C-alpha cells in the first residue's frame, strides 16, 4: 500500500480509530501489528511470509546471542542472521543480476551458458526491513543493545507500517523502547502529524509525480538526443523528483507515526544546501548512510588504520551502498562516484586543513557539491550506461545530433520548482522545520496547510509507487 492512495486514507483512518480506543496497551500493539501486516499484504499477500522469516530468524538469533557462551558461538548466531537476511536479499534482489553477470563472465571465458529465466518478483521494501532486522541482531552482537523483552514489541519494530517499506531505517533502540509503555498522540501531536503528512504528500503527489517526473522520462527514457538545456533540465528535475519522492515519503512516515504517538528520526536535512560530500551524506538518507557507516564502514576499519585503509573502507562502503539501491552496474558507478567524491574531499581537507573558506568560497563549494551530486544522479536514473552517456554528453555539449526534447512549459516549471527547493534548502540549512513553524502566525499556517492540501486534492495523483520502493 502506498501513502498516496485512497486505500491508505481509509486504512489510516481505521488504524487511528482503533488506536484511540480505550483498549489494553498489548491489544493496541497487536492491532498495530495486524494493521502493519495488512499494509504490507495489500501489495502482494504471499510476500508477508518473507517478513515473517526475517522476523523469526532474527528474534531467535538475538536470543541465542545472549544465552550462548563463547565468541565463536556468538559469531555463528550473528552470521546466521546476516546470511539469512542477505541470502533473501541476494536471491530476490540480485538473483537475476548475478546470473546475467555469471553468464557474461562465462562467455568471456569462451563458455556458452544461458542463464535460466527466473522471473523473480522483487518484494517491496525488502532492502529496508532486512537492514532493520539485521541492525537488531548486530546491535545485540556488538553489545550495544539488549534484546527486546517480548516478541510482540520486536515484531512490531520490524513491521511497523510507517517505516516498513521505505524507511527511515530504524534501529531497535530507537523504536522498541517506545513500545514498552502506552502511547497515544495528544491533539497537538495528531494535528502536527497530519500537517507533516500533508507536506510529505505534497512533495510526492504534486511536485515529484505531477511536475517533475514527465521531463525526466522524456529525456532519460525517450529516443531523442538531448542537448545542453534538455539534459540539464531533466537531470535537475530528477534531482528534485527523487528528493521530493523520498523525503516526501520520510516526512509522511514521520507524520503518520506521530499521529499514533511515536517518534521517528529525521531522514533528510535539506541536502541540496550541503557544502561538501560528507555534509551531503549527513543530510541525505541519513538512516541509510548511518547504517552503512556503523555496520560496514567501521567494521571495514573506518579511519582507524591509516589513510589507505580509510580510502578503501570509504570506497567499498559507497560501492556497496550503490549496489543496495539496485541490481545494476549503473548504481555501482553512482556509489563509486560518491565514494570518489568523499575520498577526494577527505584528501583535500587533510591537505588544506588550515584553510577556512569565506562565505563566497563556501557558496561556491555548495554549488560545486550540488552540480557533482547531479552528475552522479545521471547514473542513478539511467537504466543503461548508453543512456547515461547520452545524457552526460548532452550536459557537456558533446551530442552532435541533439534536438529539442522538452516542451517550454516543462522547462519553466522545472526551473521554478528546483529553484524553490534549493532556495528552501539554503534557508533551512541550519534550521529545523519545527523551529521555523514556531515563528509563523497561525492564520498563515492554516492558509499554507489548506493550499498544500488543495494542491494534493486537485492534482489527484494516480497512486504511483515511491521510487525507493524498488530498492
Partner 1 sequence: MSSADSGMSERVDDREPVRPGFVRLTASDRPGVAQPVPVRDIPPRPWPRIFASAMLILLVAVGAWEWRMRAEGLEAGDIDDGPSAWAEQRRRVDAGEASVVLVGDSRMLFDSDLDRYEALTGVRPIQLAIAGSNARPFLVELAEHSSFAGLVIVGIAHTTFFGPDAGLGRGALERYRFESPSVRASFQLHRALSHAFAFLDDRFRLSRLVHFLDDDWRDGVRIGTAERLWKLGVTGDDRQTWLWPRIETDVRLRDHQRAAWGLGAGRKPPPIADAAIATAQRELHDAVATIRARGGEVVFLRPPSDPRFRVFEEQQMPRAQAWDALLAAGGVMGLHSDDDPVMHALVPPEYSHLSRACATVYTDAYVRALALRTPRVALRSDAPAPLTAADCDMPPADLASSATATAL
Of residues 69 through 108, those in contact with partner 1 by CB under 8 A are none
Q: What is the DSSP letter of 461?
A: -
Q: Dihedral through CA 250, CA 91, CA 105, CA 382, nearest 10?
A: -20
Binding mask 7-46 for partner 1 (x = CB under 8 A): xxxx------------------------------xxxxx-
Q: Does 352 bind partner 1 (CB under 8 A)?
A: no
Q: Does 369 bind partner 1 (CB under 8 A)?
A: no
The CA distance from 330 to 15, in Å, is: 40
C-beta of 84 vs 456, nearer to partner 1: 456
Under 8 Å between Cβ of 260 and 33: no
Q: Which residue out of 285, 325, 374, 425 is catalytically annotated?
A: 325
CB of 400 to partner 1, least distance (A): 16
CB of 2 to partner 1, least distance (A): 7
Q: Does 67 bind partner 1 (CB under 8 A)?
A: no
Q: Does 455 bind partner 1 (CB under 8 A)?
A: yes
Annotated catalytic residue 19 = no
Q: Does 410 bind partner 1 (CB under 8 A)?
A: yes
Residues recorded for the chain: 471
Binding mask 294-333 for partner 1 (x = CB under 8 A): x---x-----------------------------------
Per-residue b or e along 213-250, where b marks 16 or more CB atoms closer than 10 Å to that residue's CB: bbbbebbbeeeebbbeebbbbbbbbbbbbbbbbbbbbb
Q: What is the DSSP letter of 431?
A: -
The CA distance from 182 to 24, in Å, is: 9
Q: Does 186 bind partner 1 (CB under 8 A)?
A: yes
Distance of CA 144 to the CA centre of its chain: 24
Q: Does 401 bind partner 1 (CB under 8 A)?
A: no
Q: Count CA atoms within 13 Å of residue 324 on its CB side.
A: 23
Among 175, 199, 333, 393, binds partner 1 (CB under 8 A): 175
**Which three three-digit cell numbers place residue 159?**
513491521
Q: Cα-flanking dihedrals φ and ψ of residue 23, to 5°?
A: -110, 160
List binders of partner 1 among 129-158 (CB under 8 A): 139, 144-145
C-beta of 21 vs 412, nearer to partner 1: 412
List binders of partner 1 among 262-291 (CB under 8 A): 262-266, 269, 279, 281-283, 286-287, 289-291
Q: Among all residues, which ones are annotated catalytic? A: 325
Amino acid at each position: 500500500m502506498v501513502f498516496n492512495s485512497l486505500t491508505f486514507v481509509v486504512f489510516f483512518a481505521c488504524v487511528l480509530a482503533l488506536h484511540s480506543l480505550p483498549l489494553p496497551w498489548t491489544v493496541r500493539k497487536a492491532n498495530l501489528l495486524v494493521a502493519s501486516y495488512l499494509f504490507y499484504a495489500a501489495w502482494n499477500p504471499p510476500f508477508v511470509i518473507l517478513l515473517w522469516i526475517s522476523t523469526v530468524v532474527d528474534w531467535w538469533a538475538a536470543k541465542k546471542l545472549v544465552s550462548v557462551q563463547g565468541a565463536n558461538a556468538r559469531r555463528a548466531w550473528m552470521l546466521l542472521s546476516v546470511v539469512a537476511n542477505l541470502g533473501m536479499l541476494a536471491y530476490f534482489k540480485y538473483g537475476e543480476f548475478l546470473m546475467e553477470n555469471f553468464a557474461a563472465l562465462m562467455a568471456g571465458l569462451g563458455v556458452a551458458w544461458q542463464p535460466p529465466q527466473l522471473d523473480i518478483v522483487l518484494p517491496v521494501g525488502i532492502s529496508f526491513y532486512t537492514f532493520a532486522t539485521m541492525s537488531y541482531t548486530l546491535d545485540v552482537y556488538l553489545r550495544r543493545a539488549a534484546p527486546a523483552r517480548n516478541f510482540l514489541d520486536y515484531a512490531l519494530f520490524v513491521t511497523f507500517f510507517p517505516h516498513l517499506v521505505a524507511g527511515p531505517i530504524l534501529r531497535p533502540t530507537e523504536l522498541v523502547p517506545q513500545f514498552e509503555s502506552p502511547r497515544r498522540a495528544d491533539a497537538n501531536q495528531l494535528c502536527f502529524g497530519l500537517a507533516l503528512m500533508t507536506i510529505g504528500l505534497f512533495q510526492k503527489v504534486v511536485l515529484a509525480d505531477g511536475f517533475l517526473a514527465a521531463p525526466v522520462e522524456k529525456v532519460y527514457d525517450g529516443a531523442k538526443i538531448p542537448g545542453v538545456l534538455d539534459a540539464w533540465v531533466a537531470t535537475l528535475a530528477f534531482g528534485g523528483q527523487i528528493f521530493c519522492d523520498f523525503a516526501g515519503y520520510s516526512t509522511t512516515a514521520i507524520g503518520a507515526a506521530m499521529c499514533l504517538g511515536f517518534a521517528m528520526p529525521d531522514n533528510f536535512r535539506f541536502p541540496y544546501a550541503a557544502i561538501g560530500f560528507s555534509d551531503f551524506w549527513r543530510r541525505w538518507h541519513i538512516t541509510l548512510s548511518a547504517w552503512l557507516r556503523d555496520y560496514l564502514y567501521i567494521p571495514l576499519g573506518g579511519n582507524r588504520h591509516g589513510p589507505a585503509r580509510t580510502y578503501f573502507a570509504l570506497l567499498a562502503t559507497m560501492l556497496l551502498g550503490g549496489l543496495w539501491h539496485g541490481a545494476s552496474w549503473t548504481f555501482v558507478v553512482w556509489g563509486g562516484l560518491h565514494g570518489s567524491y568523499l575520498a577526494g574531499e577527505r584528501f583535500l581537507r587533510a591537505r588544506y586543513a588550515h584553510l577556512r573558506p569565506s562565505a563566497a568560497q563556501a557558496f561556491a563549494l555548495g554549488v560545486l557539491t550540488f552540480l557533482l551530486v547531479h552528475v552522479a544522479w545521471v547514473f542513478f536514473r539511467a537504466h543503461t550506461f548508453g543512456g547515461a552517456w547520452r545524457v552526460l554528453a548532452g550536459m557537456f555539449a558533446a551530442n552532435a545530433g541533439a534536438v529539442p526534447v522538452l516542451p517550454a512549459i516543462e522547462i519553466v516549471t522545472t526551473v521554478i520548482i528546483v529553484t524553490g527547493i534549493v532556495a528552501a534548502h539554503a534557508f533551512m540549512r541550519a534550521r529545523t522545520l519545527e523551529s521555523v513553524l514556531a515563528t509563523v502566525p497561525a492564520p498563515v499556517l492554516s492558509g499554507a496547510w489548506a493550499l498544500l492540501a488543495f494542491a494534493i486534492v486537485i492534482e489527484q495523483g494516480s497512486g504511483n509507487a515511491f521510487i525507493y520502493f524498488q530498492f
